[in-house]
Amino acid sequence: MVHEMKYITRDGKIEGKDSLQDRFLQAVYGSRAGRWLIRPFISPAVSRLGGWFLDQSLSCFLIRPFVRSSGIDLSLCEKQEFDSYNDFFTRKLKACARRIDRNPDHFISPCDSRLSVYRIGEGLRVPVKQTWYRVADLLRDEALAKRFDGGYLFVYRLCVDDYHRYVFPDSGYQTGFRKIKGVLHTVNPAANDVCPIYKENSREYGILHSDHFGTLLMMEVGAMMVGRIENHPGHKRVRRGEEKGYFAFGGSTILVMTQKDRVNVAKEILNHSAQGLETRVLLGEMVGTAAGDR
Choose the catalytic residue: 116, 210, 252, 273. 252
d(CA 214, CA 203) in angstroms, rounded, equals: 23
- Give the other-Cβ count within 10 Å of 217's Cβ: 23
Contact 113, 281 (CB under 8 A): yes
Three-state secondary-structure class, residue 174: strand
Please give the backbone phi and psi of residue 130, each rounded to the nearest 5 degrees, phi first: 65, 10
Contact 114, 7 (CB under 8 A): yes
DSSP state of 3: P
Classify residue 274 by burial, with Cβ atoms within 10 Å: 0-12, 13-18, 19+. exposed
Asked about 193 being catalytic, the answer comes back as no
Asked about 162 being catalytic, the answer comes back as no
Choose the catalytic residue: 22, 55, 84, 112. 112
Contact 165, 111 (CB under 8 A): yes
What is 139-174 written as a DSSP string?
A: HT-HHHHHTTTTSEEEEEEEPTTS--EEE-SS-EEE
- Name the residues annotated as catalytic: 112, 252
